[in-house]
Structure formats: C-alpha cells, structure tokens
Amino acid sequence: MEKHSFYSEKELEKEAQRLYEKLKKTHFSLDECKERAALTLEINRIKKEKNAVILAHSYQTPDIIYGVADFVGDSLELSRQAAKTKAEIIVFAGVKFMAETAKILSPKKTVLLPSVQAGCSLSESITAEDVKKMKKQFPNVPVVCYINTSAEVKAECDACCTSANALQVVESFDSDKVIFLPDELMAQNIQNQTKKKIISWKGLCVVHKEFKAKDIEETKKRFSGVKILVHTECSPSVVTLADFSGGTSGMINYAKTHLDESFMMVTECGLSDRMKVELPEKNFVGTCELCPFMKKNNLELILQVLKEPREEQIIEVPKEIRIKAKKAIDRMIKTKNLSD
Ligand code: 13P
Ligand code: SF4
C-alpha cells in the first residue's frame, strides 16, 4: 500500500483509531485500519482541496463508507443527492449506472467512477435496441425501467424507478399493462402486488438470484424470533418468507425502527456490515452475498481517481441521450413514494 509520509505517526494513529471505532463491529482489525489510515487522511484532504464529494452506495466496503464517504444511501437517495450537491466533482463509490445517473442529473459536474469494472448484471442484460424491439412488439404500453440500466436504455423508457418506488411508479400509469425491465424477479414481485399486467425482460441480479427459500427456512430454525428482511431483486419464493421486502433503505429503516433483536438482511453483505456498525446492540445473522461489481472499488482507486482520473473513469453521457434519460428519471423523482 502506498505510504503518505507527510502524515505524522500521531495523525496516523488517531485516524486508525477513528476508523477502528467504526469498523470494529465488522471484519476489520486494528491493523487493517492502520493500513488504511494514510489513505483515508489523504482522500479526505484532496476531497476538500478539489471541492469533491464522495457518494457511496450501502454495498460499498465499510472502510469506504465510514472512512471517506460524505453521503451513503440507496439508488434513489444517491440520485437525489447527486442532483443537489454543490460540489464540482462527484466521486461515485458505486456502479456505473449510478454514476451515469449522477451525470444525467448534474451534467456540468465532473462525475468519476473509481473502478471501470464496476458494472451490474442487470444493467448489462439489456440494450437500447432490445427496448426499441419491445416497444414495437407492445405499442402504446408504458415502459418503466429499473434504475439499474444504462443511460441509453433509460432514454428509451417513459419512467425510471428504484427498488424503493417501483410499485408506485408502475401504478402511476393509467394503462392496464406496463413493461417493466430488466429485472425478471422484481417484475414478478411487482406482478404479485398490482392488478396491471406486467411484461418483463429476462435480466437477473447475480447477487439476489442466489438466495433460496431454504436459506431463509434454515435461518428461521437456527435463530428463533429472527426478522427476515428481503431485497425485492430476490425471487418471489424468498420474498414471500419475508417480514419486510423492499429496497436497501426500506430494509435499514425496518431494522432501525423495530424493537426485535435479530435480523437477517437477505441482500449484499455490505448492508449487514452497515447495520453492524449503526445498530451495534442488534444481531445480524444468516448468510449474505458479495456483489463482484460493487466490490471492485477500493480506497486506492478512490485516491487515484481524485488525484488524476484516467479518461475511462470520467463519466460522459451524450447530450441527446442525457435529455431523454433525464425525463425518465425526473418522472421517478416526482412520483411520491411511500418513504416520503
Ligand atoms: P437499492 O436501490 O435498493 O439500494 O439497490 C441497488 C442495487 O443495486 C441492488 O442490488
Ligand atoms: Fe447489480 Fe446486483 Fe450488484 Fe446491485 S447487487 S449492482 S443489482 S449485480
């Protein structure tokens, strides 16, 4: 790991202690916090110097979330934050579709994605051409796309949505049919909650498709009274076993506002890590899955992208795509959702 010799031993020790206080409930040891102290100090210094802000999704590693992020949230909260930040530079510790959404909402700002490998299996499952073909096949049927899509795909859709407002956005159309893409499992979950006919695509999240009903049943047997919180990218057979199902912010909210002692967060491991830090008095049990895309970002890349971004780390969206995609995102932002 690169050393930043201009920090004194005392400053490094203090920073390591600050990190360890936050991260000790997760898998981080004091030695790992010591290794990261110079990086977090340097990132936080350059961030101020360059008037940059770091937005982090809850699936990022705890050293990013508690070490350097200015704002942590779900896809909806992060896009709202990207739209209102006064910073000149947004470093998006998340995946590419999130950074593109930030660029669409703040076109004058520089938006940086630390890892160019931070894609998403859902986003990569569909192209703008696929959407055009679907629109021909189902003329006059409104198209709702999950935020986990490329800017080109969003530009072909009537509205965008996130896991926090998917049902509300679908219900906001008068038509009795709605195309919902690309997540096939989320489409099935919405179908179970609406009278509208949902026409779906065949995309899957590589993380959430892995959870099986038997994982939940085993956890329920092992930990009596455990509350099961499920992300709606999981299959309906898993969602039906949940005490709560929704997006990451809804899951956090449930754990924070219910008096129960133990919870299983049926989603990416970053969310249980976040809960272990923020709700140390509660137990987070059972299994979780790692998102190979979200975990491509790390502190070294965040420092590098802040100092000297490579061309491929600077997010650009062509104007004609941006204007069309923004309409779909604006419609989502304007739709009232239950957590508002
Ligand atoms: P949320 O919007 O619920 O945070 O989900 C984002 C995501 O990528 C889920 O896999
Ligand atoms: Fe995409 Fe799934 Fe990873 Fe979220 S968790 S970024 S939906 S692959």
For residue range 257-280, list pLDDT tens digits in order.
999 999 999 999 999 999 999 999
106 C-beta closer than 6 A to ligand 1: no
- 113 CA to middle of ligand 2, Å? 16
Confidence of residue 336 (pLDDT cuts 50, 70, 90): low
pTM, to two decimals: 0.95
- 57 CA to middle of ligand 1, Å? 8
By the 8 A CB rule, do 203 and 181 touch? yes
Class of domain 123-205: alpha beta
- 267 CA to middle of ligand 1, Å? 9
Q: Residue 334: what pLDDT? A: 82
162 C-beta closer than 6 A to ligand 1: yes
Segments of the chain assigned E as strands = 52-57, 71-73, 89-93, 110-112, 143-146, 159-161, 177-181, 197-200, 227-231, 244-246, 262-266, 283-284
Q: Express each pLDDT in 84-130 by its tens digit.
A: 999 999 999 999 999 999 999 999 999 999 999 999 999 999 999 99
The domain locations on the chain are 9-118+294-309, 123-205, 208-284
152 C-beta closer than 6 A to ligand 1: no
Nearest atom (ligand 2) to Cα of 97:
6
Share above pLDDT 70 across residues of the chain, in percent, rounded to a whole number = 97
What's the CA dihedral at 185, 190, 193, 196 to 10 degrees? -130
Name the CATH architecture for the domain at 9-118+294-309. 3-Layer(aba) Sandwich (3.40)
Domain covering 208-284 in this structure, CATH number: 3.40.50.10800
Q: Which of 163, 208, 238, 339 to mutate to test the pocket of ligand 1 (most atoms within 8 A of CB)?
A: 163
The binding-site residues of ligand 2, defined as CB within 6 angstroms of any ligand atom, are 95, 120-122, 148, 205-207, 233, 268, 291, 293-294
Q: Express each pLDDT in 130-158 by its tens digit.
A: 999 999 999 999 999 999 999 999 999 99
The amino acid that residue 150 corresponds to is S
Helices 269-278, 248-257: axis angle to 10 degrees equals: 30
Confidence of residue 80 (pLDDT cuts 50, 70, 90): confident
Is there a common fold for 9-118+294-309 and 123-205?
Answer: yes
Helices 30-49, 299-307: axis angle to 10 degrees equals: 20
Nearest atom (ligand 2) to Cα of 123:
1
Protein residue with least CA distance to atom 3, ligand 2: 291
Q: Which of 61, 208, 251 to mutate to test the pocket of ligand 2 (most atoms within 8 A of CB)?
A: 208
- 120 CA to middle of ligand 2, Å? 5
Q: Residue 38: what pLDDT? A: 97
With tokens 């099986």, the residue in question is 212
Two tokens, residue 209: 């498709």
